[in-house]
A and B are shown apart, each in its own frame.
Chain A
Amino acid sequence: GAVVSQHPSRVICKSGTSVKIECRSLDFQATTMFWYRQFPKKSLMLMATSNEGSKATYEQGVEKDKFLINHASLTLSTLTVTSAHPEDSSFYICSAIDRATYNEQFFGPGTRLTVL
Chain B
Amino acid sequence: GESVGLHLPTLSVQEGDNSIINCAYSNSASDYFIWYKQESGKGPQFIIDIRSNMDKRQGQRVTVLLNKTVKHLSLQIAATQPGDSAVYFCAEETSGSRLTFGEGTQLTVNP
Which residues of A are at the interface with B, using a C-beta cutoff of 8 A? 4, 6, 32, 34, 42-46, 49, 57, 91, 93, 95, 97, 102-103, 105-110, 112
Contacts and interface: CB of A to CB of B under 8 A. Distances in A.
B99 interface: yes
Given A110-B42, A112-B41, A46 B96 contact: no
Most chain B CB within a 10 A radius of its CB, from A32, A43, A107:
A43
B105 to A, nearest CB: 11
Interface residues of B, number: 18
Dominant secondary structure of chain B at its interface with chain A: mixed
A103 B43 contact: no
Contact of B96 (A44, A45, A49): A49
Contacts of B42: 109-110
Interface in B17-42: 32, 36, 41-42
B69 interface: no
11 contacts: A34-B98, A34-B99, A43-B102, A44-B44, A44-B101, A46-B98, A49-B98, A95-B99, A102-B97, A107-B36, A109-B42
A34 B93 CA distance: 13
B14 interface: no
A108 B43 contact: yes
B15 interface: no
Nearest to A110: B43
Nearest to B94: A46
B81 interface: no
Contacts of B44: 44, 93, 107
